[in-house]
């Protein structure tokens, strides 16, 4: 019954920006860590950014650090990923994820995460 629904993907020029949103339902949002993973065609899925239930702990991939910002609104059950200075190598399907435990959601490969959204495609053109 858990649903994580992403929006905001699309085609962006290199150097441009995009803002992804994830709407969560069926979970007690305020006690779940949330995050974003991505998977490019032919590549393994990878962590992009994760945020703890209260927003105090945040982890970014090296690639995302300094360019992307994760945030959440616990009153509205929303998590966001602001992506700036996009590069062609950022092209991927971006997935919203949710988990009760920080250890699970902060794994680089996403193994063991409880809930995954359907994904939204982000394409960055050179």
Instruction: Tell me the HSE value of 111 on the side-chain side, using a 13 A CA sphere.
Output: 3
pLDDT on residue 98:
98
pLDDT on residue 70:
98
- From residue 5, how far is each of 33, 56, 57, 120, 121 by CA, in Å? 16, 23, 23, 9, 13
79 within 8 A of 72, measured Cβ to Cβ: yes
Cα–Cα distance, 118 to 62 (Å, whole number) = 24
Intra-chain end-to-end CA distance of the chain, in Å: 39
Residue keyed to tokens 């962006």: 12
The helix (run of H) or strand (run of E) holding residue 48 is: strand 46-51
Q: What is the pLDDT along the chain (126 residues), one digit of tens a residue?
A: 899 999 999 999 999 999 999 999 999 999 999 999 999 999 999 999 999 999 999 999 999 999 999 999 999 999 999 999 999 999 999 999 999 999 999 999 999 999 999 999 999 999
- From residue 1, how far is each of 28, 52, 105 by CA, in Å? 12, 22, 20
pLDDT on residue 119:
97
pLDDT on residue 5:
98
């Amino acid at each position: 019954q858990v649903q994580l629904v992403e929006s905001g993907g699309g085609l962006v020029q290199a150097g441009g920006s995009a803002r992804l949103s994830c709407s969560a339902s069926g979970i007690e949002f305020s006690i779940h860590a949330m995050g974003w993973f991505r998977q490019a065609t032919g590549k393994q899925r990878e962590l992009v950014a994760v945020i703890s239930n209260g927003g105090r702990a945040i982890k970014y991939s090296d690639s995302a650090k300094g360019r992307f910002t994760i945030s959440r609104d616990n009153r509205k059950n929303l998590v966001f990923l602001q992506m700036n200075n996009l590069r062609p190598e950022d092209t991927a399907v971006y997935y919203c994820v949710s988990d009760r435990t920080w250890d699970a959601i902060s794994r680089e490969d996403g193994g063991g995460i409880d809930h995954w959204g359907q994904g939204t495609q982000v394409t960055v053109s050179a």
